[in-house]
């Protein structure tokens, strides 16, 4: 897996890069601004995923994303931010990004999100979607508790109960109970059908 990280905060950039490379199967290129990211793409070819910091020099918010997509239309880009309003997550995806990653994500959750996007899937944390849609909550979401929605998001990402438990800092047996309950509420026969129903309903 080849990942390009563009972020002007050296500590954030280096921390994410170090964690990804420690997994052993990931090559990471890290740069400090939007121009450097475009240069890296020109010189080194396509990456599995490019993470663009929303507020770094040269980015100018979603304008930088649109310029990036215009220059490299086949490349998968995601927005990385610790300060952007929650609505930016949906706006970024609508503009062509493959996902939105808050810098507040834990290390394991961040790795899972990056792998998910690098495989071609779109990622937005369920918590951001809930806050964004608080005034027009999804009908399916109304049936589920906050924790059940978080577990369902993990199912949609193809995570095991153990991985979901680690991401949410819960016991694996607790996740099993949540899966059983949400499947019952959704009239789903199993976790696979629950994930399929959630995706078909546009919840994630």
Q: Can you list the domains of the chain with their CATH numbers?
A: 2-126 (3.40.50.2300), 137-200 (1.10.10.10)
Query: What is the rounded CA–CA span in Å between residue 14 and residue 2?
Result: 15
**Helical (H) or strand (E) element with 5:** strand 2-6
- 162 against 135, higher pLDDT: 162
pLDDT digits (tens, 9 = 90+) for 149-181: 889 999 998 999 999 998 888 999 999 999 999
Alpha-carbon dihedral of residues 147, 153, 156, 162, nearest 10 degrees?
-60
- Given its phi and psi angles, is residue 108 left (phi above 0), alpha (psi -120 to 50 degrees) or beta? alpha
Residue 139 pLDDT greater than 90, yes or no: no
Read off the pLDDT of each residue in 23-42 and give the average, rounded to a whole number. 93
Query: What is the rounded CA–CA span in Å between residue 200 and residue 204?
Result: 9
* Residue 25: per-residue pLDDT: 83
Residue 60 pLDDT greater than 90, yes or no: no
Query: What is the rounded CA–CA span in Å between residue 147 and residue 138?
Result: 15
- pTM across the whole model: 0.64
Residue 145 pLDDT greater than 90, yes or no: no
* Residue 135: per-residue pLDDT: 46
* Residue 137: per-residue pLDDT: 58
* Residue 136: per-residue pLDDT: 52
* Residue 140: per-residue pLDDT: 74
pLDDT digits (tens, 9 = 90+) for 67-97: 999 999 999 999 999 877 777 888 899 999 9
Q: Which of 122, 124, 140 has its CA nearest to residue 132? A: 124
DSSP secondary structure letter of residue 189: S
């Amino acid at each position: 897996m080849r990942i390009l990280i563009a972020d002007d905060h050296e500590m954030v950039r280096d921390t994410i890069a170090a964690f990804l490379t420690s997994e052993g199967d990931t090559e990471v290129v890290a740069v400090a601004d939007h121009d450097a990211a475009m240069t890296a793409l020109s010189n080194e070819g396509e990456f599995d995923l490019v993470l663009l910091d929303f507020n770094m020099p040269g980015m100018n918010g979603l304008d930088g994303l649109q310029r990036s997509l215009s220059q490299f239309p086949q490349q998968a880009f995601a927005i990385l931010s610790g300060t952007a309003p929650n609505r930016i997550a949906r706006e970024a995806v609508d503009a062509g990004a493959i996902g939105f990653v808050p810098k507040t994500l834990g290390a394991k959750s961040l790795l899972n999100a990056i792998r998910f996007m690098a495989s071609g899937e779109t990622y937005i944390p369920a918590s951001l979607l809930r806050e964004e849609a608080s005034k027009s909550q999804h009908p399916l979401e109304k049936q589920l508790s906050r924790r059940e929605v978080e577990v369902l998001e993990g199912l949609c990402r193809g995570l095991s109960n153990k991985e979901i438990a680690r991401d949410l800092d819960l016991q694996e047996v607790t996740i099993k109970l949540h899966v059983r309950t949400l499947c019952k509420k959704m009239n789903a026969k199993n976790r696979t059908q629950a994930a399929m129903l959630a995706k078909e309903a546009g919840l994630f």
